Structure 1
Amino acid sequence: MDEEVPPAKRPRLSMACNACRRRKVKCDTDYPKCRNCRLRDDVCTTTDPKMPQVAVIREWIIQSEPAQDDSTLREPNDGRRAAQTVSHSPGSLSTIRRPDVVQPAGNSPAVSIPRSHDVGISPAQQPYEMTFNTDAQTNRIKMMGSSSSQCLVKSLDVYLESAQIQPLSHNFRHGMRHAEELNIPLGASLPALPETTLCNRYVSVFFDKIHPIYPLFDIDNMKSTIQHFANIPSVHSVSHEQGPLLVSAYLILSLGADESAQGITVDGTKYLEAAASLLGHVVSMPYLHAIQALLLFTITYRGRDSDGLGWQTVGMAIRIAYTLGLHRHSHSNPSNQHGVQNKLDRLFHARIWAICCCLEKMMQLESGRPAAIVKVDRDHMIGPDQRPPGHDFLQWHMGLAEHQGLICHHIYGHKPGERTAQGILSDTARLDRSLLSWAREIPEEFRPGNDLFCSNSEFHFAALLSIQYYQALIALHRAALIAPTATFQSEVTKHNFDDSSKLRLLAGEAICVSSARSIARLTIELSDRNVQSRILTAGPPLMACIVLGIALIKNAGSRSMAADLELLKACAEYTADQFSKSGHIVPFIKGVLTIYQQVKSYIDRISQKEQTRTAESRSQSDHAAGAHATYQILPETQSVVQPQGGEMPYDQSPHASTQRPDTTMSRNHENNADHLPPHNEISNLDMNLNMTAPVMNSYAPRFHSNGSELPFDNLDVQELWDWMGNLSDYDNYSYQGSY
């Protein structure tokens, strides 16, 4: 049997923690607490001796590699090194290139972080809240803020790094350009509207499949307006005042074209680019038609997984809505001083404001961005006597947005140390109860948490509400998902809660995993039903993949492991395919597939270890059984004692069968995880996930000698919650994609 090659030593630590430095002992790289501090239950902090007032976090020095020629396909040698993106993660000794410093375009895109005398931050260590996406060739930079997905993928990194497996978060830096940019010509391109039959088909699809949940227009009036634009000799003759209406017409055609094809189309792109070229005409006429157009922009961008662009347009729509007083409508306390007194007009304005709330709170929860709407109040919505006939999906969506806003405040609206562990858990239980209460308001055929029995024509509406509901549960209970199960449950039992709340808190991890499974199954069912829609994005399935990855690593060996691993594989393939169809570049798509590969690599090694351990145990048992049989030989007769009829050989015992690992988990796979197709062959990307994931620094994984020693062990709820919140500073950031 070949001896296991020991992993090579990693580079020296850039900065040991204060406790290890004071005691003059070696400090390891475990995060958020080193092993010495966990064993002694010490506070694990690091300060730079040259700047003792700045708190930092330990990190390994990263060895740089020569830059490659193709910056598009450049990959880091591990999870810390950044090429086109700088995560100002601890220990990175590079400095971010200042925006006013011009470098040759051919230089390496590796960027650097600000010097300490420029920003007052220790050069030995950068906090997680200073995380940037940077394109050095074009000098573009976007600061990334705290988000649920970002927090979860960093937590998954911690578990992977504890096993010396390459982390994942660096893979998703490639999504910035697609999420934030739209390539449109400098000159306005105003195509004519399509011929009547095709135009009517696109318009009908929009009003049938998108407008019921986002009722932005009076249907008859808008159809008449589009018909008017289609009949005029040239759209260049449209007046400046009608610019927002022309933009809305273009966007309705774009959404209708993509929705009818269930994917991005040439017509959809053409009309979107035409609308985008007229954005200046929209914001220069800041009235109701401008709000409608901007909200259509948001829906269109989200349908193409360009959340960064959608975030900008929904923000502009909300600020214009404030100036029109759309947020001042009240059903319980109407004012006779409002400029809009007609009941139908108030109803129409209230629904426009509700769409603003729904889109922003949905995107805020996905990304953790600070919102323009401080509080969502359903009193701003219409009353029961004013609801339209049929199923009011917007009313339910607005109710969910109210809870999403409260959860965002719960997660990001408090400074570290402001609340105790009991306060955090109490707020979590309260918000959990309110979410469950909201779900009970929904009719059974659409209710989240149930199987959806509605028709295909309404299935995507119900799926959107369910997916957003599950995302809210994951965000709310994420501390239970990240923390070691026994540690978190022990913390919960220390405090007094009612029985129902305690049961839900203790089951927090199971709630997250069940929600991720539901998201994955719903997205797969959408594909099976062939009812894909532009109102659904690939961000939630990506979060489901991350949650399933964390759960599988934490609970490797559980009975549901094989089923969850297959579900993760299917969800990762689906998500990668959706991002590919929306135009994301290959390295980003490869990052989605890598989630399954890395988790599968970990599980395979665990299974192999169990298989080896079982074989050794069986060999020892056989040897002991042989020795025992020798001692049982009687000197007088030299006969061998036979086992009684009820006894079984070891390898046939029920106990042995339960201990035998699943041999399918240790199959050999193709070692092509690092092979990338050419940049222009996204459609030919191999979605086959039967490949071995790379390990960190190309060394074989080495697990902790103490099997019970897990990341985040010995952190109470308050410390863990503060750690999650401190991944990024909520008050000082402007962008984080939903992936």
Structure 2
Amino acid sequence: MKCDTEQPSCRNCQKRRVPCVTTDLRRPERNGRRTEPKGRRQSRNTIPTPEGSRHTATDRGNPLSTDQQMPRSPSATPSPTSHLLAHMEHDSAIPSIFTTPFQNGSQQSSRAHQVNDSNVGSTYQTSSTDLADGTRDTRAEADQTHQNSKLLFVTDKSRSRLQIVGSGSSIYVMAHWLDLFFAKHSYWRPIYPYFQQGLAYSIEVPLPFLHTLPQLPTPSQTTDYISTFFSQFYPIYPIIDRSMLERSLETLGPKLEQQPQRFAPEDYPSLACLYAVFSIAADELEGCPTSSGATYLEGAYFLYAHLVALPYVTSVQALLLLAIVLRHRNKDGASLGTLGQAIRIAQSIGLHQHMSAADVIGSSSENGAMDVASQTDLHSRIWWTAYILERTMELETGRPSAIRDSECNQVRPAPAATHRNDGPRFDYFGSLVQLAQIQTQIIELFYTSKQRRETKELLHEMGRLDRALLDWTVQFPEDIRPGRDIFCAEEEYHLATYVTLQYHQTFVALHRPALMSATPWLRSRVNHLCAGTPWRGRLRYALCIGAASARAGLKALNDLLLYAKASRLITANQTLLLTLVLAIYVTRIPTSRMNASDLAIVVTFAQEIEQDYLAMGQDVDFANGLGILRTQLSEHVRLTKANLSQTSSSGGAATVVQEPSDDDMSMDLIPDFDLSSLDDVWPSLWTDDLSGLYVNDANQDTLSAYLLGVPRMNN
């Protein structure tokens, strides 16, 4: 636990001339070590610091002089921005973003002068500073500068739960950004601590101890469940054949009716597949989580140990189906764990490698070759389903990947049959495989690459991937093309909507830096670094592209509810992500003529998913965070409109905004500042979470204003 990131001693200890002791809450028996947030390590070498502030500690009589204990940053010529870095008083209170609403008053007041360590997702890191003698380990410093952990430790109010998410977790990072943006506004209560309270629901699957396994549904229900699965889910998740399910029913039905129940070891994976299919279908028929679906989920999860103990193809199928059930009940944390186990088993039995019929012993006969061909096609479908799920959830949560593309050579499967004459004619599964490969490049660009990228390279790659996403849609028929309105048959509407949401979610992930960057800075760099490239125009309006994707995704969801019916393919977490994107756009562009309509969309969907979360058993505080978000956002828009109206009236004429994206409330910066000096810092912001952005630091304050578009605290 640390008060701030001053090296080698925190400010409070420097002021009081006492030894500075750092403790590690995870390892209380060891001495802790100190480090700075990653963005700030670079910022001190990038932004010129006034000579006067360099000696502040010494002038106050502090024996731990910065000049003596730490190497100086390279000197810089005086610049017009030097006054931006004026020294901030050490005793200034930390803004409310770093406090939690789940503590009593005395606890809050005791934290008035330090960063809260429990409910702001503290990132535990290792320092390269030797606290004993103040010497610096240069080798460790270099290692830490170039190896970004990209991990954020999230806990809830119980403090007994801890989970790692990555910097790619858009929901957490966007909530951080909103709290930073509104840190100076008295009406804003931080929403990030509320969002953390969803941790338990996401990762935990409470299970009763089953004395007997659940009975299979009645024959009529079984028929409905199987038909529902293969019509509603199979085109997206073609991981199990209908003939296999029917054989399992014939074999396992009589065994379940026996007392006591007796099963062979190989029966358990097949039984888990049945339970998972029934759970998915039961919820889909009702359009919401059901008690029947929960019962079959418990039965499938109860067999988890048997699936791991028999690591073969059927176990992989069962684990993937179980991961799908959990994902569509918004238990993303538990789903990721199950998915990771499925991928490891799939890799151990070679499903990630292509196997031709000639490679299989005993496949020389015609019937043997046909069997091998069908099996290899099934294996391909199983592997690519795992790949799609893993890439989608990695993009959403930022968790480390279990798949390395360089180790896989599995071919794409043939288009999956729909098992019904009036089923969809388009190969949705094949298109999702292609989208997942684009998502892989986005993940590599922002989160997993160890190569340090310059701003120019990052912008060029963003432009190329933006073009790839646009080209990906060309293969779709006009009536289901992502990015346009959907006009297909009702039976296919949920499939087209799901793919459309995946498309817009990928666009949001690609253009997330533009959503949370200072627009004038980003546009100036795009104009300069992307001149002559075909993607310069679109990158200039990347903020608008992200907002348009959020709007289009929410409209597609609304159309699904109007013209078809709700589907469990669409999760509340997907809706929440798009809602947060549009909420950020509302805060960034107060003069937009669509501001009121965008706010109405945010309020409507936030209220709806709040009710959905409560109905499925999510933490009440998490759901309340959505209510607080929409209330505070409405207040922000109301006050902004009043201020703009007053300004317009006093000026005698309405203000004309030439470029909407430039109307950024936070940009009260100096025109003469050399924006290119921040090119080395900007890429690093998107490989880390925002929990290290301490707004009581002068250097970080300036970085936040120029790069993140966050209002400066020190003014």
TM-score, normalised relative to structure 1: 0.70
Aligned equivalents of 1:214, 1:531: Cα separation in 2: 20
Q: Which residue pairs with 2:382 in the alignment?
A: 352
Indicate conservation of the 8 Å contact 2:518/2:667, yes or no: no
Q: Which residue pairs with 2:79 in the alignment?
A: none
Q: How far has the Cα of 1:508 moved from its partner? A: 0.8
Matched, 1:721 2:677: no
1:380 counterpart SS class: coil
Q: Which residue pairs with 1:509 in the alignment?
A: 543
> For 1:344-423, what aligned pairs fall within 5 Å after superposition?
344-375=374-405, 380-382=410-412, 388=417, 390-415=425-450, 418-423=452-457
Q: Which residue pairs with 1:73 in the alignment?
A: none
Aligned equivalents of 1:484, 1:472: Cα separation in 2: 22
Q: Which residue pairs with 1:681 in the alignment?
A: none
Indicate conservation of the 8 Å contact 2:154/2:163, yes or no: yes
Matched, 1:603 2:637: yes
> For 1:162-561, what aligned pairs fall within 5 Å after superposition?
162-164=184-186, 165-232=188-255, 233-234=257-258, 236-329=261-354, 334=356, 336-337=358-359, 342-375=372-405, 380-382=410-412, 388=417, 390-415=425-450, 418-561=452-595
Indicate conservation of the 8 Å contact 1:145/1:369, yes or no: yes
Indicate conservation of the 8 Å contact 2:46/2:678, yes or no: no
Q: Which runs of 5+ in 2 are unaligned?
A: 12-37, 58-63, 74-86, 133-147, 364-368, 419-424, 658-664, 692-715
C-alpha change, 1:705 and 1:325, in structure 2 (3 Å) is closer
Q: Which residue pairs with 1:145 in the alignment?
A: 166
Q: Which residue pairs with 2:154 in the alignment?
A: 133
2:182 to 160, 165, 177: 160
C-alpha change, 1:91 and 1:383, in structure 2 (3 Å) is farther
Q: How far has the Cα of 1:250 moved from its partner? A: 1.0
Q: How far has the Cα of 1:448 moved from its partner? A: 0.8
Instruction: Output one character per residue of 1:416-437: Cα deviation in whole Å (capped at 9) or x when no partner.
Output: 8x11111111111111121112
AA aligned to 2:635 is: S
Comparing 319-328 and 491-500, the one that deviates more? 491-500
Aligned equivalents of 2:437, 2:417: Cα separation in 1: 21
Indicate conservation of the 8 Å contact 1:188/1:278, yes or no: no
Aligned equivalents of 1:163, 1:714: Cα separation in 2: 31
Count of residue pairs the alignment pairs up: 589
Comparing 348-357 and 166-175, the one that deviates more? 166-175
Q: How far has the Cα of 1:119 moved from its partner? A: 12
2:681 counterpart SS class: helix
Aligned equivalents of 1:327, 1:157: Cα separation in 2: 42
AA aligned to 2:411 is: M
Aligned equivalents of 2:606, 2:96: Cα separation in 1: 21
C-alpha change, 1:597 and 1:724, in structure 2 (3 Å) is farther
> For 1:653-668, what aligned pairs fall within 5 Å after superposition?
none
C-alpha change, 1:426 and 1:91, in structure 2 (3 Å) is farther
Indicate conservation of the 8 Å contact 1:247/1:275, yes or no: yes
Aligned equivalents of 1:132, 1:615: Cα separation in 2: 48
1:144 counterpart SS class: strand
AA aligned to 1:201 is: D
Indicate conservation of the 8 Å contact 2:583/2:633, yes or no: yes
Matched, 1:583 2:613: no
Instruction: Output one character per residue of 1:497-545: Cα deviation in whole Å (capped at 9) or x when no partner.
Output: 5453111211211110100101211222222235222222112221112
Aligned equivalents of 1:201, 1:483: Cα separation in 2: 50
Indicate conservation of the 8 Å contact 2:179/2:190, yes or no: yes
Aligned equivalents of 1:222, 1:141: Cα separation in 2: 38
C-alpha change, 1:130 and 1:203, in structure 2 (3 Å) is closer
Indicate conservation of the 8 Å contact 2:196/2:622, yes or no: yes
Aligned equivalents of 2:546, 2:571: Cα separation in 1: 20
Indicate conservation of the 8 Å contact 2:459/2:530, yes or no: no
C-alpha change, 1:90 and 1:236, in structure 2 (3 Å) is farther
Indicate conservation of the 8 Å contact 2:352/2:410, yes or no: yes
TM-score, normalised relative to structure 2: 0.73
Aligned equivalents of 1:376, 1:441: Cα separation in 2: 26
Aligned equivalents of 1:110, 1:420: Cα separation in 2: 29
Indicate conservation of the 8 Å contact 1:479/1:717, yes or no: no
Aligned equivalents of 2:191, 2:46: Cα separation in 1: 28
C-alpha change, 1:53 and 1:464, in structure 2 (3 Å) is farther
Q: How far has the Cα of 1:175 moved from its partner? A: 0.5
Aligned equivalents of 1:720, 1:111: Cα separation in 2: 22
Instruction: Output one character per residue of 1:717-738: Cα deviation in whole Å (capped at 9) or x when no partner.
Output: 5523312312279xxxxxxxxx
1:556 counterpart SS class: coil
Aligned equivalents of 1:112, 1:485: Cα separation in 2: 28
Q: How far has the Cα of 1:139 moved from its partner? A: 3.0
Larger radius of gyration: 1
AA aligned to 1:343 is: A
Q: How far has the Cα of 1:229 moved from its partner? A: 2.9
Q: How far has the Cα of 1:184 moved from its partner? A: 0.6
Indicate conservation of the 8 Å contact 2:455/2:680, yes or no: yes
AA aligned to 1:374 is: R
Indicate conservation of the 8 Å contact 2:121/2:154, yes or no: no
Aligned equivalents of 1:569, 1:206: Cα separation in 2: 33
C-alpha change, 1:400 and 1:379, in structure 2 (3 Å) is farther
Aligned equivalents of 1:713, 1:171: Cα separation in 2: 36
Q: How far has the Cα of 1:394 moved from its partner? A: 1.0
Q: How far has the Cα of 1:228 moved from its partner? A: 3.8
Q: How far has the Cα of 1:140 moved from its partner? A: 2.9
Instruction: Output one character per residue of 1:388-407: Cα deviation in whole Å (capped at 9) or x when no partner.
Output: 47322111111111111111
Comparing 570-579 and 400-409, the one that deviates more? 570-579
Aligned equivalents of 1:159, 1:373: Cα separation in 2: 36
> For 1:99-110, what aligned pairs fall within 5 Å after superposition?
none
Please give the root-mean-square deviation of Cα atoms over the aligned residues, in Å: 4.4
1:79 counterpart SS class: helix
Q: Which residue pairs with 1:80 in the alignment?
A: 98
Aligned equivalents of 1:493, 1:110: Cα separation in 2: 36
Q: How far has the Cα of 1:574 moved from its partner? A: 2.5
Aligned equivalents of 2:89, 2:126: Cα separation in 1: 18
AA aligned to 1:148 is: S
Identity %: 26
Aligned equivalents of 2:654, 2:586: Cα separation in 1: 24
C-alpha change, 1:555 and 1:509, in structure 2 (3 Å) is same
C-alpha change, 1:573 and 1:707, in structure 2 (3 Å) is farther
